[in-house]
């Protein structure tokens, strides 16, 4: 009896074990089915409203290496007018924006200190000139006195020489003793020495006086140069236009004090302009002097070229100075214009519309739409040049694929997005 019961229990266990295995298999199949159902209906990636993004398709076309930038009209030449002396504004004869001619008087300044210094220096110069005249008069008097003394000495020497010659003749005839002849010869020698000494002393005295006159002349010349410089500085108190042009930045008031070196105004050339073009620093390495540019104004095209580049980057941009190839059209200083700058020749390429995504990713990746048009996956890209509103695609995209080109700031950390 017990044996029969044992065999029955074993049979029940064998029957129950397959039932448990069947239930587990059914649970796994149900879980897989549920996962498949959720995969089809559960959102994939960050949800983004389609109206909040811009989408563009990659397309083949000619990459025109042209940059369109905003340029500001500037005068071709400007002359800065700065105060050369401290002073007070006495007269303002022109207004800001007026056209002025070269040499025209613009502003008159006054300086009492400069006027007093000029008077003192003028008085000193006059005194030095008087001293120079006195020195020259003394030199002339010394020359006249020396000439008189030399004439007298020469006359005395000639008289003594003739007397000695007569004594020589008398001594030869026996009418004069040798002692008297010797005394006559001594007097002649003394007269010659006195004449030579007088000549030497006269030359030394004249040389000393001439040196004094020359030194005084140099002092007077130096003083006169300083006086002329001071007069020129005083003339600088009368501000004149160095060239013809339009006056800008003049805001002086009568009675206003002006410091030396302060900016008074600026003179801009008339009818001649240049353009200051601001470009993204991305183009800094490709812009060079001589590149061609084009300005379309009132339906007419005007050629320009890059005349100078300022490589200093400010707020992510640098500036290039553009000069007109011919006469510039009528423009206004400060006017904003769109200019097309050509960086190279057109080339066939895969193109993608430029957008805010480039600034957020640096062009290293982008969200590319899947075939269903509702999901976009993050994909690495190889992008090249940017110009004229498009980007050159070097790798990572195929023609016709669509890319989210608007800014990514709201979902930059996502790996996928879902467009609703």
CATH fold, domain 46-64+348-419, is 2.40.420
113-122, 234-243, 376-385: which is most confident: 376-385
Q: Could you report the per-residue pLDDT of 353-369, keeping only the tens digit for each? A: 999 999 999 899 999 99
In terms of pLDDT, which residue wins out, 402 or 271?
402
Please tell me what DSSP assigns to residue 43. -
Confidence of residue 263 (pLDDT cuts 50, 70, 90): confident
Asked whether the CA dihedral 98, 101, 104, 108 is positive or negative, the reply is positive
Domain definitions of the chain by residue range: 1-39, 46-64+348-419, 68-75+271-343, 83-104+243-267, 113-235
pTM, rounded to two decimals: 0.47
Residue 395 scores a pLDDT above 90: yes
- b/e for 69-78, b at 16 or more Cβ within 10 A? bebebbbeee
Q: Rounded to whole angstroms, how far apart are CA atoms 385 and 368?
A: 20
Environment class of residue 411 by beta-carbon count within 10 Å: exposed (0-12), middle (13-18) or buried (19+)? Answer: buried
Closest by CA to 96, choosing from 273, 257, 271, 265, is 265
Q: Could you report the per-residue pLDDT of 134-170, keeping only the tens digit for each? A: 878 877 888 888 888 888 888 888 888 898 898 888 8
Which distant-in-sequence residues (6+ apart) come within 8 Å of 356 by Cβ?
A: 405, 406, 407, 408
Q: Would the CATH topology of 46-64+348-419 be identical to that of 68-75+271-343?
A: no
Residue 60 scores a pLDDT above 90: yes
Q: What confidence score (pLDDT) does residue 16 get?
A: 46
86-95, 97-106, 402-411: which is most confident: 402-411
Q: What is the DSSP string of 117-174?
A: HHHHHHHHHHHHHHHHHHHHHHHHHHHHHHHHHHHHHHHHHHHHHHHHHHHHHHHHHT
Domain made up of 68-75+271-343: CATH architecture: Beta Barrel (2.40)
């Amino acid at each position: 009896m017990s044996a029969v019961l044992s065999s029955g229990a074993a049979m029940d266990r064998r029957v129950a074990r397959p039932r448990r295995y069947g239930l587990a298999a059914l649970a796994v199949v149900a879980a897989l089915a549920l996962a498949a159902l959720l995969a089809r209906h559960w959102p994939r990636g960050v949800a983004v409203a389609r109206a909040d993004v811009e989408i563009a398709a990659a397309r083949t076309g000619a990459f025109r290496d042209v940059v369109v930038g905003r340029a500001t009209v500037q005068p071709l030449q400007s002359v800065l007018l700065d105060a050369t002396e401290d002073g007070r504004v006495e007269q303002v004869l022109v207004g800001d924006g007026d056209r002025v001619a070269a040499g025209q008087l613009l502003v008159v300044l006054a300086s009492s200190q400069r006027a007093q210094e000029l008077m003192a220096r003028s008085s000193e110069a006059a005194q030095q000139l008087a001293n120079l005249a006195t020195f020259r008069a003394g030199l002339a008097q010394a020359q006249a006195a020396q000439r008189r003394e030399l004439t007298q000495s020469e006359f005395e020497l000639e008289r003594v020489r003739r007397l000695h010659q007569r004594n020589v003749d008398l001594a030869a005839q026996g009418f004069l003793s040798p002692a008297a002849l010797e005394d006559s010869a001594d007097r002649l020698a003394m007269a010659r020495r006195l004449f030579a000494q007088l000549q030497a002393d006269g030359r030394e005295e004249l040389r000393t006086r001439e040196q004094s006159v020359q030194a005084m002349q140099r002092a007077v010349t130096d003083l006169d140069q300083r006086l002329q410089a001071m007069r020129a500085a005083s003339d600088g108190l009368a501000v004149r236009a160095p060239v013809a042009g339009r006056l800008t930045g003049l805001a002086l008031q009568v009675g206003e004090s002006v410091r030396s070196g302060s900016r008074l105004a600026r003179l801009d050339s008339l009818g001649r302009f240049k353009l200051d073009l601001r470009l993204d620093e991305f183009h800094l390495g490709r812009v060079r002097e001589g590149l061609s540019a084009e300005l379309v104004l009132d339906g007419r095209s005007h050629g320009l070229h890059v005349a100078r580049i300022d490589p200093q980057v400010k707020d992510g941009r640098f500036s290039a100075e553009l000069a007109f190839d011919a006469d510039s059209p009528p423009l206004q200083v400060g006017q904003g214009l769109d200019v097309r700058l050509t960086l190279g020749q057109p080339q066939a390429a895969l193109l993608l519309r430029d957008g805010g995504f480039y600034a957020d990713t640096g062009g290293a990746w982008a969200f590319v739409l899947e075939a269903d048009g509702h999901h976009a996956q993050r994909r690495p890209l190889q992008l090249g040049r940017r110009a004229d509103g498009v980007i050159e695609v070097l790798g990572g995209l195929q023609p016709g694929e669509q890319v989210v080109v608007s800014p990514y700031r709201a979902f930059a950390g996502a790996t996928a997005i879902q467009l609703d």
